[in-house]
Amino acid sequence: MKCKVVLTILTVLLLSLATGCWNRSELNDLAITVGLSIDRTDNDRYLVSAQIVEPGEVAEKGGSGRSPVTLFNETGNTVMEAIRKMTTNSPRKIYMAHLRILVIGEELAREGIGDVLDFMIRDHELRTDFFVAIAKGRKAKEMLTIMTPLEKLPAVKIYKSMTTSQNNWAPSLSVTLDKLIADLANEGKHPVLATLEATGDEKAGNNKSNMERIDVPASISSASLAVFKKDKLVGWLNETESKGYNYIINKISTTLGFMSCPNGGKIAVQVVRSNVKVKARTVDGEPIVDVDLRVKQNISEVLCRIDLTKEETFAEIDRRSVQKLEDILDSAIVKAQKQFKSDIFGFGDAVHRANPRLWKKLRKDWDRHFAIMPVHVKVKVQTTLSGTINNSLKNLIKE
C-alpha cells in the first residue's frame, strides 16, 4: 500500500518533469512584434516587415543608445512563410500576440487584402485587437521606419494616436482586425480603414536623430479614410467626407466643428454628444434610408461679434450647424454612392433589418441599388453652453 502511494507520487513528479513544457518560452526569448507591414513585391511575392521591440532600450534606465525597435524584412510566397523565414535573421521567436498595428501597402490593398488576412485570423497567437491601416502613397514598410516622439515604440505611437484622435477628432477612425473581418463578411456593409501618411524627410525619420530635434523632420499621421469594395481598396475619403462617414456610423464621441457667423467671421463648436439613427423603409418596393442625427454641442471659440447672451443667437447657431452638418453628411453619402458605388455605411444592414424579404431580392447586386437609393438626412442640433465667458472678447474691444 505504502509502496503504491510512493510509486504514484514518484510517477506524477517525474512525469511533470518530462513534459518538456510545450510552447513555453521565457520573456527574453521572444521577439515582441508591435508592428507588421505587408507589401506586394514586383515578382508577386509578399514583403513582410516586422517592427520588433528591443526591450533593453525601452527600459527605464540603461539603454545603450541603440534604436528602441528594429525592423526585420523578409519576402515570401505567403505571409507566414516570410514570418518564419525571419527567424533566420532574428535570434528570437517572432511573437505577435502584442501586435499593435498592421499596415498594408496601397498596391496590395488595391489587389485585395483577403489573402493576407487569412493568416492573421487563423494563427492562434495573434489577438484581433490591433488596428489595421493602409499606407497611402508609400510602401507600408516605410510607415514602420519612422521614429516617433513621446512614445519610444513607433507602432505603439501610431496605435495610441489613432485611439486618441478617434475620440477627439471626427475624421479619424480606427478599425481593429475583428471589426474589419466582420465588415468583410457582412453583405450589407463594405469596410473602411484608416490610412497612414508619412510626411517629411523619410531618410531623417529612419534615424534616432529624428528624435533629437524639437521639430521632428519626419512624422507619421493618420488623416483620411480608405474605402473598400469587398476586400479591394477603391479610393479615399477626404477630411470632410471622413467626418460625415463617422457621423453616420455613429463613431463620434467628441469633436470640433466650425461655421461662419451671420456677420462674417467664424465660430467653432465642440460636439459633446452625437447620436445617429439609420432606418430604412420601403416606398413602392424601393428602399429608402433615413439618417437621423442628433448633436449636442457647446461653443468653444468665437471669432466674430455675436451676442451670446441672446437666445436667438443660439437658435441661429443651431440653424447654421444643421446646415453645415447636412452638407458634411451629404458629401460622404454622395461620394460613396456616385464615385465608389460602395455601401460603406451599412445601409444594406438597415434595409435587411427593416425589410428582410426585400433584402433577399436586393442583396445579389446591392451595390447597384445602393448607388441610386434615396437617402434622407435629418439633423437636429442643440447648442447649450458657451464656455466660461459669454460674449467674445471682440465685443468688448471698442473699435
Partner 1 sequence: MRRNNHPERQEAAKQTAQLHLDLHHNVQHIRQTLGNSGDLVVRDLPIGANEQLHSAIIYTDGLVDTTSIQSGVIEALMSGLDQDALANAIRSDADMLNYLSNHALAVEQINETDTFDELIHSLLSGNVILLLNGYDRGLFINLSKYEHRAIMEPAVETVVRGPRESFTESLRTNTALIRRKIKDQNLRLDNRMIGRITKTDIAVMYMKGIADDHVVEQVHSRLDQIDIDGILESGYIEAYIQDVDFTPFPTVYNTERPDVIAAELLEGKVVILVDGTPFVLVVPALFISFLHSAEDYYQRADISSLIRILRFIGLFISLLAPSLYIAITTFHQEMLPTQLLIGLASQREGIPFPAFIEALVMEIVFEVLREAGLRMPRAVGQAVSIVGTLVIGQAAVNAGIVSAAMVIVVSITAIASFIYPAINMSITMRMLRFPLMGLAASFGMFGIFLGLMVLLLHMSSLKSFGVPYTAPFSPYIPDDLKDTVIRKPLWLMNTRPRLINRRNIIRQGKTSPPPAKPK
Choice between 26 and 212, CB closer to partner 1: 26
Site of grid cell 526569448: 29
Looking at beta carbons only, is 156 or 302 nearer to partner 1? 156
- Residue closer to partner 1, measured from CB, 58 or 80: 58
Min separation Cβ 22 and partner 1, Å? 9
How far apart, in whole angstroms, are the C-alpha atoms of residue 30 and residue 306? Answer: 61
Name the minimum Å distance from CB 178 to partner 1.
Answer: 15
Distance CA 264, CA 266 (A): 7
In the complex, the smallest distance separating the C-beta of residue 353 from partner 1, rounded to whole angstroms, is 36
Minimum distance of partner 1 from residue 162's CB (angstroms): 14
Percent helix, strand, coil in the chain (nearest 5)? 40, 30, 35
DSSP secondary structure of 94-121: EE-TT--EEEEEHHHHHH-SHHHHHHHH
**357 burial via Cβ count (<10 Å: 0-12, 13-18, 19+):** exposed
- For partner 1, which is the closer residue by CB, 30 or 379? 30
- Phi/psi at 272 (5° precision): -105, -25
C-alpha torsion sign, points 239, 244, 247, 250: negative
Residue 365 CB, shortest distance to partner 1, in Å, is 42
State the nearest-atom distance from the C-beta of 32 to partner 1, in Å: 6
> Is 272 strand, coil or helix?
strand
Cell numbers placing 251: 463613431
Enter the C-alpha cell of residue 181. 473581418
Cβ proximity to partner 1, 69 vs 180, nearer residue: 69
Q: Which residues bind to partner 1, rule: CB under 8 A? A: 16-17, 19, 21, 23-28, 30, 32, 34, 53, 55-59, 95, 97-98, 100, 125, 127, 153, 156
C-beta of 299: minimal distance to partner 1 in Å?
37
Supply the DSSP string of 301-319, one letter for each residue. Answer: EE-S---TTSHHHHHHHHH
The residue among 25 and 323 lying less far from partner 1, judged by its C-beta, is 25
∠ CA 61-66-67, rounded to 5°: 100
CA distances from 394 to 205, 243, 317 (A): 43, 30, 18
Q: How far is CA 90 from CA 30, 32, 59, 79, 119, in A?
A: 10, 11, 21, 16, 20
Smallest gap from residue 95 Cβ to partner 1 (A): 7
Q: CB 8 → partner 1: shortest distance, Å? A: 13
* Crossing angle of helices 239-248 and 311-334, rounded to 10°: 100
Q: CB of residue 181 vs partner 1: minimum separation in angstroms?
A: 19
In the three-class reduction of DSSP (H, G, I as helix; E, B as strand; rest coil), residue 168 is classed as helix
- CB closer to partner 1, 25 vs 168: 25
If the CB atoms of residues 100 and 352 are measured against partner 1, the closer one turns out to be 100
Instruction: Tell me whether residue 58 or residue 303 sits nearer to partner 1 (CB atom).
Output: 58
Q: Which of 223, 222, 240, 230 is CA-nearest to residue 335?
A: 240
To partner 1, the closest distance from the beta carbon of 20 in angstroms equals 9
Q: Among residues 37 and 383, whose Cβ is nearest to partner 1?
A: 37
Q: Of the two residues 68 and 191, which places its CB atom closer to partner 1 in the complex?
A: 68
Give the Cβ contact number of residue 85 at 10 Å: 16
